[in-house]
Amino acid sequence: MTKTAGSLPWMVLNEKMRKFFVLISLIGILNLYAEDGSRLWLPDSYQEQPAVIQTKVKSETVSIAVKELESYWKGAPVKLLKIKDKTLACDGFRIEGDYDSQVTIRAASDIGLLYGAYHLLRLQETENLSQSFKIQEQPAYALRLLNHWDNLDGTIERGYAGYSLWKWKELPETISPRYEQYARANASIGINGTVLNNVNASPDILKTEYLQKVRVIADVFRPYGIKVYLSVNMASPKVLDDLADADPWNPAVIRWWKNKAQEIYRLIPDFGGFLVKANSEGQPGPQDYGRTHADGANLLADVLKPYGGIVMWRAFVYNPDQDDRAKQAYREFVHLDGQFRDNVILQVKNGPVDFQPREPFNPLFGNMSQTPLMPELQITQEYLGFSNHLVFLAPQWKEFFDSDTYCQGEGSTVAQVTNGSIFPHRLTAIAGVANTGEDINWCGHPFAQANWYAFGRLAWDPGLSSDRIADEWLKQTFTKEEAFVAPARSIMLQSWETAVSYMMPLGLHHQFAWGHHYGPEPWCDVPGARPDWLPKYYHQADEEGIGFDRSSSGSNAVAQYFSPLKEQFNSLESCPEKYLLWFHHVPWNYPMKSGRTLWDEMCYHYDAGVQQVREFQKQWDKLEKYVDPERFRLVQSKLRIQAKDAVWWKDACLLYFQTFSNQVIPHEIERPVHELDDLMKIKLDMKHHN
């Protein structure tokens, strides 16, 4: 549009026309400005004539619902009704009506009305709403949380979108406008809680000075239905107030936490609770004093209980002296089942190792019937190309939610064992490690926003398909034009498998460069390093073959799964190929289902990954006319990085593993363009990412 106006010969235009075109150009510029990605998926086209919205409910939350609908709803008058209805418990809502005559949103709570309003706007942007409609929605998990790994100095552990959104130095006096924008974005997808600080928690967060800052953030978030939680360091009483120890059984320690809880709730009456990483990767914890995880969690649970707070105790634990890191969480936690207070929930990463490109589900799911478990997913792409690679994570999370644990026979999926339907726990929750930062577009890569969006939507309803989520996100974020949406959606839906192929196909895992986890370093050897932090520990490549033997003849991690899964994973023949090298050490010449040998199959996977990224580039370039130049170019240049990185991954892994397999790379596939020696010299300077 601006191009046409700009290319007209100015000299021939009269004054009126000139003004008109100046105006059009300005609108064009403003539009472009608006497409810096800061808008996220939220509606932006204000209407001159506000929609008619009726309600008798008076609250800040409902005022937001009214304002959003007045500004963006283009259909018939909307009524917001608060009703008593058991089928609408929690945050649910019902929407009935007709786009052209009358729409009614009913909910049992104010936040339910706000969620209903956002849902209605989402439908307007993504569906054809001319018919009458009736929708009822209820979230699967009661608590839907983001975890920020943000440090108090403004850096973010594993953050790839700039510094933290939380401006600790400016608070409590200065309130960044982004706090409210953040709350609005989260509320629009049903997220209702946020842990503000890193799980590797600084004790300082519990100082009065910081709590006053936290209070200000909590005040901004409250009308959007978002509760604030904090990560706490178990050594806090010792570090902050010189107590002799931090033993959870020490009465002075108990008193300290009691007083702290009281102070917090005086400032923030609806404070959500604590998230704890204890006795993991060097963090202090109850085991330092011979106590168990349950002792530590229960201490905190007891002090939070009178105020309705909860404890999210992480099960991410492993020690270098164990034979298999993947087994440890199960070993440390299953025997504690039944020992936790009812306001404790265990937060468990989706897989048994650590957010790898692909992992089987963590066997703790389904194995602790007396204790609520909450899945922890990683939205930030620590192990998937940071904010450089386009990787849509909904398919990864769907694979996890839909995995059958068999804990109560067939059909006991991870989603069902965690959402309260198989084990009827009152407390149900889910967390995602956030990918936001102060970058103007929030997440670094324009498509990384889709992962924030997908997390919220799946936390609300894990039954939604990846396809539907991609479709919704694209239509709201870019355009509804099918000629754009269909190919862009297809890129998104393939992108995770693609990344798995060029990084770690067939169950390979943790082949990352030391520390920052960006590129490949399967050869990595750091003198004195913990063995379980080195790729060799995981790939176990030798002249015979490759892969970690977790079968009954190896570490026997398979035994932690229910039958028939354990038998299926245990046998080389029945183990799904996508997990093959996770569970087995497989000979290079092992015949795969395709008829190729394992070595050839690996080569084909790496190559397919590279070819797919090239295909994404071609597809994206064809979409130029549908996308504003700013986002188009940013995605284009990120895809170039991704294509280069994919070749880097392929060459590094194949050339290195070839030194064991001693076999040729099949002649049909693209030849390496690097020398292994050169790749082995690469040392990225990634200080900020560590």
Give the residues lining the site for ligand BDP (CB under 6 A).
157-158, 199-200, 277, 281, 316, 354-355, 382
CB of 200 to ligand BDP, least distance (A): 5
CB of 349 to ligand BDP, least distance (A): 7
Q: Which residues contact residue 466 at a Cβ distance below 8 angstroms, ignoring those fewer than 6 apart?
A: 392, 394, 395, 398, 454, 492, 493
Is 382 among the residues known to form the active site? yes
Pairing between β-strand 93-98 and β-strand 103-107 as defined by DSSP bridges: antiparallel
The smaller minimum CB distance to ligand BDP, of residues 316 and 606, is found at 316
The smaller minimum CB distance to ligand BDP, of residues 445 and 516, is found at 516
CB of 687 to ligand BDP, least distance (A): 14
- Give the pair of three-digit tokens for residue 20: 């008109």
- Give the pair of three-digit tokens for residue 563: 């039958």
Cα three-residue angle 641-646-647, rounded to 5 degrees: 105
- Give the pair of three-digit tokens for residue 205: 């967060």
Helix and strand element counts for the chain (H, E) = 21, 15
The smaller minimum CB distance to ligand BDP, of residues 275 and 558, is found at 275
Of the residues 150, 354, 600, 651, only one is catalytic, namely 354
Other beta carbons within 10 Å of 392: 24
State which residue has the least CB distance to ligand BDP.
354
Q: Are 508 and 356 in contact (CB under 8 A)?
A: no
Other beta carbons within 10 Å of 291: 17
The smaller minimum CB distance to ligand BDP, of residues 88 and 329, is found at 329
Closest to 348 in 3D by CA, of 568, 228, 76, 334? 334
Residue with tokens 């102060």: 438
- Give the pair of three-digit tokens for residue 333: 């936690």
Alpha-helix residue ranges (DSSP H) falling in 127-189: 177-188
The smaller minimum CB distance to ligand BDP, of residues 355 and 569, is found at 355
Question: Three-class SS string for 378-446?
Answer: ECCCCCCCCCCCCCCCHHHHHHHHCCECCECECCCEHHHHHCCCCCCCCCCEEEEECCCCCCCCCCCCH
CB of 580 to ligand BDP, least distance (A): 23
Residue with tokens 């100082």: 207
Other beta carbons within 10 Å of 262: 12
CB of 533 to ligand BDP, least distance (A): 10
The smaller minimum CB distance to ligand BDP, of residues 190 and 535, is found at 535
Residue 146 CA, distance from chain mean position: 8
Output the DSSP codes for 446-460. Answer: GGGHHHHHHHHHHHH
CB of 352 to ligand BDP, least distance (A): 13
Closest to 450 in 3D by CA, of 392, 387, 382, 390? 392
The smaller minimum CB distance to ligand BDP, of residues 198 and 413, is found at 198
The smaller minimum CB distance to ligand BDP, of residues 62 and 433, is found at 433
CB of 284 to ligand BDP, least distance (A): 14
CB of 201 to ligand BDP, least distance (A): 10
Calpha distance 241→372 (Å, rounded) = 33
Calpha distance 12→156 (Å, rounded) = 55
CB of 537 to ligand BDP, least distance (A): 15
Calpha distance 167→111 (Å, rounded) = 27
Q: Are 548 and 585 in contact (CB under 8 A)?
A: yes
CB of 281 to ligand BDP, least distance (A): 6
The smaller minimum CB distance to ligand BDP, of residues 82 and 689, is found at 689
What's the first-to-final CA gap in the chain, in angstroms? 44
Cα three-residue angle 190-193-198, rounded to 5 degrees: 130
Of the residues 281, 323, 482, 624, only one is catalytic, namely 281
The smaller minimum CB distance to ligand BDP, of residues 231 and 570, is found at 231
Closest to 145 in 3D by CA, of 265, 42, 275, 280? 275
Residue with tokens 């059958």: 404
Closest to 652 in 3D by CA, of 634, 677, 619, 670? 677
Of the residues 382, 399, 404, 532, only one is catalytic, namely 382
Q: Are 391 and 641 in contact (CB under 8 A)?
A: no
Calpha distance 434→567 (Å, rounded) = 36
Q: Which residues contact residue 52 at a Cβ distance below 8 angstroms, ignoring those fewer than 6 apart?
A: 77, 78
CB of 347 to ligand BDP, least distance (A): 10
The smaller minimum CB distance to ligand BDP, of residues 4 and 690, is found at 690
Q: Among all residues, which ones are annotated catalytic? A: 281, 354, 382
